[in-house]
Amino acid sequence: MSVTQIQEEILKLKQEKDVVILAHYYQPIEIQEIADHLGGSLGLSRLANKVDTDYIIFAGVDFMAETASILNQNKKVLIPNPESCCPMAAYLTVDKVKEFKANNPNLPVVVYVNSTAAVKAESDICCTSANAVNVVKRISSEFNAKAVLFGPDANLADYVEQKSGIKCIKMPEKGNCYVHSQLTIDDMEKIRIAYPKCELLVHPECIREVRELADFVGSTGQMYNRVKNNTTSENDFCIGTEIGLMERMAQDFPNKNFHLISEKLICYNMKKNTIELMRYVLDNLDDPMFEVKVPPEIAKKALKPIEKMLEYS
Ligand code: 13P
Ligand code: SF4
- Kindly give, in sequence order, each residue whose CB lies less than 8 Å from that of residue 111, ignoring residues fewer than 6 positions away: 92, 97, 119, 120, 122, 123, 125, 126, 127, 150, 151, 152, 305
Residue pair 183/240 in contact (Cβ under 8 Å)? The answer is yes
Please indicate, yes or no, whether residues 247 and 206 belong to a single structural domain of this protein: yes
Residue pair 200/213 in contact (Cβ under 8 Å)? The answer is yes
Tell whether 199 is covered by a domain.
Answer: yes
Please indicate, yes or no, whether residues 194 and 157 belong to a single structural domain of this protein: no
Tell whether 93 is covered by a domain.
Answer: yes
Tell whether 157 is covered by a domain.
Answer: yes
Please indicate, yes or no, whether residues 163 and 99 belong to a single structural domain of this protein: yes
Angle CA 56–251–196, to nearest 5: 125
Please indicate, yes or no, whether residues 93 and 132 belong to a single structural domain of this protein: yes
Which pLDDT tens digit goes with each residue over 177-203?
Answer: 999 999 999 999 999 999 999 999 999
Please indicate, yes or no, whether residues 290 and 228 belong to a single structural domain of this protein: no
Tell whether 300 is covered by a domain.
Answer: no
Q: In CATH, what number is assigned to the domain containing residue 39?
A: 3.40.50.10800
- Kindly give, in sequence order, each residue whose CB lies less than 8 Å from that of residue 2, ignoring residues fewer than 6 positions away: none
> Which residue, 143, 161, 176, sits at the end of a domain?
176
Stretches in the chain below the pLDDT threshold 70: none
Compute the distance from residue 174 Cα to the ligand 1 centre, in Å: 18
* Nearest residue by C-alpha to atom 7 in ligand 2: 177
Residue 247 is predicted with a pLDDT of 98
Please indicate, yes or no, whether residues 93 and 79 belong to a single structural domain of this protein: no
The count of domains in the chain is 3
Please indicate, yes or no, whether residues 22 and 61 belong to a single structural domain of this protein: yes
Ligand of minimum distance to the alpha carbon of 91: 2
Q: Does ligand 2 have an atom closer than 6 angstroms to the CB of 48?
A: no
Cα 286 from Cα 279, distance rounded (Å):
14
CB count in 10 Å sphere of residue 13: 16
Please indicate, yes or no, whether residues 253 and 285 belong to a single structural domain of this protein: no
* Nearest residue by C-alpha to atom 1 in ligand 2: 86
Compute the distance from residue 113 Cα to the ligand 1 centre, in Å: 9
Residue 157 is predicted with a pLDDT of 98
Tell whether 159 is covered by a domain.
Answer: yes
Please indicate, yes or no, whether residues 72 and 95 belong to a single structural domain of this protein: no
Q: Domain range holding 203?
A: 180-260
Please indicate, yes or no, whether residues 101 and 163 belong to a single structural domain of this protein: yes
Tell whether 303 is covered by a domain.
Answer: no
> Which residue, 143, 176, 209, sits at the end of a domain?
176
Residue 234 is predicted with a pLDDT of 77
Please indicate, yes or no, whether residues 92 and 39 belong to a single structural domain of this protein: no
Residue 231 is predicted with a pLDDT of 78
> Which residue, 155, 176, 197, sits at the end of a domain?
176
Residue 232 is predicted with a pLDDT of 76
Tell whether 12 is covered by a domain.
Answer: yes
Please indicate, yes or no, whether residues 16 and 94 belong to a single structural domain of this protein: no
pTM above 0.85, yes or no: yes
Residue 280 is predicted with a pLDDT of 98
Using only C-alpha atoms, what is the Rg of the chain? 19
